[in-house]
């Protein structure tokens, strides 16, 4: 069945004990998701409720329809830079359009079974753009972390640096102190978590947010809060509204939508693979992509932002005892209850605290050790990871991924072509070839004959014997169309010079390629032998 949510297969052996675990895990993740959802939305240039509504609606749909048992969906830090850039350049209505279009792309990716292709993106590219996004998230939070007076942060790197430097003398000591205290508490909570006893079950982000809100309210600190900047958050879900759609806008949104879809696919499937390793299960990648597509197509009609699988919340879900998608649905319901009954309390949450939380998330999101370990890897790997990182930071994620994939492709072609080799068959192995060099030559080819390694045959063309040429392809694992064309050109050249060409050892994919190209009709029937020994015997008979 092409569409089968994991939820339908999760009830075999399900009992009250497992339901209790799922409910408790869902409540825990729901509480953890609250500050993150608001922080991600604010950092993306949106109102805090956009993040909460996305966690509720999109997160619920992803758990209900997804292909993973324990993955939690919602707004993610990886989207911050992309969403902020779209909002600044095209506006919120076009962000909603791009999000809906990305949902269509994601669904089609799953429908056409392209989920496994995401795994072919090299790890160097993934690390490069993940670290680049983490760096940009940290950079985007400097404004609220220091309480700087900047009306609107630019989306581009150099303009952001210029704006921060220009406003450096406007920093707010109260905001900086609260942000540093919040960040310090988050770090200490993680370091000493095992010594906190029953308190260890409380999420550090939630504890930090509550304490920062209480301190801000008691001392009436002169800093920005959700209430002063956004007027608080609504205590109800938004109503369904059609998003403005026009062909003119849609034309410009194709590239941003593809970027959102690609990033969402990578992030969600990477998260699902991590979850698989923790619960010793296997997700259905194409079902997950279709669920992500439905969620991202739906959420813009409720004023939300792009959603994907979230690693931190998924790991929290697993560590809290979750076993089925029920926990993800409970997580969405928990957020809904918080919005309905506790929304007025959110107006006093200080933005400096949310900035500290995002700084903490960005640091944990990046794989910074990989930069320290770069000297252990080959130069092409270093160039790829650093190029993707700097291009993500300075230019654009789309350009960074394109360049990264191109560099990885070139490196792969070079490595595979360097592993392919051609060697002369020795007379010591085949006595019949003794004193026949220049008249009867035999070559063994290893590896792949493809467009990056056709030079192997071109070298043979330059040194053709006078009577017979034998090619042993027993150790060739792959031939592409370029390689097949080169073999046919070699056969044509041999025919012109009245040289007999003998092919030995065809098997598996090379044999299939020869059959498909009708190469058997090009040479006489006595030109093909199962191994080099029989070919040499026939040539020297």
Note whether 268 and 71 are within 8 A (CB): yes
Note whether 479 and 452 are within 8 A (CB): no
Q: Give the pLDDT confidence score for residue 428 in this predicted structure.
A: 82
Structure tokens at 140: 């985007």
User: Residue ranges of the alpha helices (H) in 320-454?
Assistant: 326-342, 351-365, 369-372, 379-394, 397-419
User: Residue ranges of the alpha helices (H) in 44-195?
Assistant: 48-53, 59-65, 80-90, 92-111, 123-140, 142-146, 157-166, 173-191
- Nearest CA to 337 out of 21, 61, 34 is that of 34
Tell me the C-alpha distance between 130 and 267, whole Å: 9
- Nearest CA to 81 out of 358, 403, 313 is that of 358
Note whether 308 and 262 are within 8 A (CB): no
* C-alpha torsion 494→496→498→499, nearest 10: -10
Query: Spelled out in words, what is the top-level CATH class assigned to the domain 421-539?
Result: alpha beta
Tell me the C-alpha distance between 383 and 371, whole Å: 11
Please, which residues bridge with residue 468 across strands? 440, 500
* Residue 134: burial class (beta carbons within 10 Å; 0-12, 13-18, 19+): buried
- For the chain, how big is the Rg over CA atoms in Å? 30
Tell me the C-alpha distance between 245 and 493, whole Å: 60
Helix, strand and coil percent figures for the chain, each rounded to 5:
70, 5, 25
Tell me the C-alpha distance between 528 and 470, whole Å: 10
Q: Give the pLDDT confidence score for residue 503 in this predicted structure.
A: 95
Tell me the C-alpha distance between 243 and 296, whole Å: 13
The residues near 378 (Cβ < 8 Å, ≥ 6 apart) are none
The DSSP output letter for 470 is E
Q: Look at phi and psi of residue 209 and say left if phi exceeds 0, alpha if psi is from -120 to 50, else beta.
A: alpha
Q: Give the pLDDT confidence score for residue 513 in this predicted structure.
A: 94
The residues near 300 (Cβ < 8 Å, ≥ 6 apart) are 95, 96, 97, 99, 100, 103, 243
Tell me the C-alpha distance between 54 and 50, whole Å: 6
Q: Give the pLDDT confidence score for residue 42 in this predicted structure.
A: 94
Q: Give the pLDDT confidence score for residue 196 in this predicted structure.
A: 79
Spans of the chain below 70 pLDDT: 1
Other beta carbons within 10 angstroms of residue 534's beta carbon come to 13
Q: Give the pLDDT confidence score for residue 375 in this predicted structure.
A: 87
Q: How far is CA 308 from CA 385, 424, 432, in A?
A: 24, 55, 66
- Nearest CA to 175 out of 136, 210, 216 is that of 216
For 421, list phi and psi in degrees, rounded to 5: -150, 160
- Nearest CA to 230 out of 39, 74, 96 is that of 39
Q: Give the pLDDT confidence score for residue 30 in this predicted structure.
A: 93
* Dihedral of alpha carbons 126, 128, 129, 130, sign: positive
Model pTM score: 0.85
Q: Parse the chain into domains and list their residue ranges.
A: 17-140+160-224+247-372, 373-418, 421-539
Q: Give the pLDDT confidence score for residue 1 in this predicted structure.
A: 63
Sequence-ordered strand ranges (E) for 202-280: none
């Amino acid at each position: 069945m092409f569409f089968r949510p994991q939820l339908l297969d999760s009830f075999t052996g399900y009992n009250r004990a497992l339901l209790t675990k799922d409910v408790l895990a869902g409540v825990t993740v729901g509480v953890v998701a609250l500050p993150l959802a608001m922080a991600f939305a604010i950092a993306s240039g949106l109102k805090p409720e956009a993040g909460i509504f996305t966690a509720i609606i999109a997160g619920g749909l992803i758990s209900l329809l997804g292909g993973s048992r324990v993955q939690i969906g919602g707004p993610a830090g990886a989207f911050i830079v992309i969403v902020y850039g779209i909002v600044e350049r095209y506006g919120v209505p076009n962000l909603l359009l791009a999000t809906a279009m990305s949902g269509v792309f994601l669904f089609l990716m799953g429908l056409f079974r392209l989920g496994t292709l995401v795994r072919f993106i090299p790890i160097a590219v993934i690390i490069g753009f993940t670290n680049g996004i983490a760096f940009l998230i940290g950079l985007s939070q400097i404004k609220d972390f220091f309480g700087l007076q900047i009306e609107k942060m630019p989306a581009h790197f150099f303009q952001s640096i210029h704006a921060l430097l220009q406003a450096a003398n406007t920093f707010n000591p109260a905001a900086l102190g609260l942000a540093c205290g919040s960040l310090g508490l988050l770090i200490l909570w993680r370091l000493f978590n095992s010594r906190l006893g029953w308190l260890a079950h409380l999420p550090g982000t939630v504890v930090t947010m509550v304490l920062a809100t209480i301190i801000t309210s008691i001392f009436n600190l002169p800093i920005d809060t959700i209430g002063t900047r956004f007027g608080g958050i609504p205590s109800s879900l938004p109503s369904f509204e059609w998003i403005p759609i026009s062909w003119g806008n849609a034309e410009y949104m194709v590239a941003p939508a593809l970027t959102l879809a690609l990033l969402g696919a990578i992030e969600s499937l990477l998260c699902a693979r991590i979850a698989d390793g923790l619960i010793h299960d296997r997700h259905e990648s194409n079902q997950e992509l279709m669920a992500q597509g439905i969620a991202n197509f739906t959420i813009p009609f409720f004023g939300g932002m792009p959603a994907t699988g979230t690693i931190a919340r998924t790991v929290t879900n697993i560590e809290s005892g979750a076993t089925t998608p029920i926990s993800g649905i409970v997580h969405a319901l928990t957020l809904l209850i918080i919005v309905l009954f506790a929304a007025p309390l959110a107006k006093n949450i200080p933005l400096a605290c949310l900035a500290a939380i995002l700084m903490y998330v960005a640091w944990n999101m990046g794989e910074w050790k990989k930069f320290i370990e770069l000297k252990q890897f080959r130069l092409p790997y270093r160039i790829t990871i650093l190029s993707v990182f700097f291009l993500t930071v300075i230019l654009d994620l789309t350009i960074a991924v394109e360049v990264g994939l191109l560099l990885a492709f070139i490196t792969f072609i070079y490595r595979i072509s360097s592993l392919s080799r051609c060697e002369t068959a020795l007379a010591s192995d085949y006595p019949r070839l003794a004193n026949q060099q220049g008249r009867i030559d035999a070559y063994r080819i290893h590896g792949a004959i493809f467009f990056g390694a056709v030079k192997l045959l071109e070298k043979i063309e330059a040194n053709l014997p006078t009577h017979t040429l034998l090619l042993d392809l027993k150790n060739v694992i792959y031939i592409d169309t370029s390689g097949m064309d080169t073999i046919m050109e070699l056969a044509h050249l041999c025919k012109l010079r009245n040289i007999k060409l003998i092919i030995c050892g065809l098997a598996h994919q090379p044999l299939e390629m020869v059959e498909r190209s009708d190469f058997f009709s090009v040479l006489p029937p006595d030109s093909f032998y199962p191994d080099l020994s029989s070919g040499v015997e026939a040539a020297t008979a």
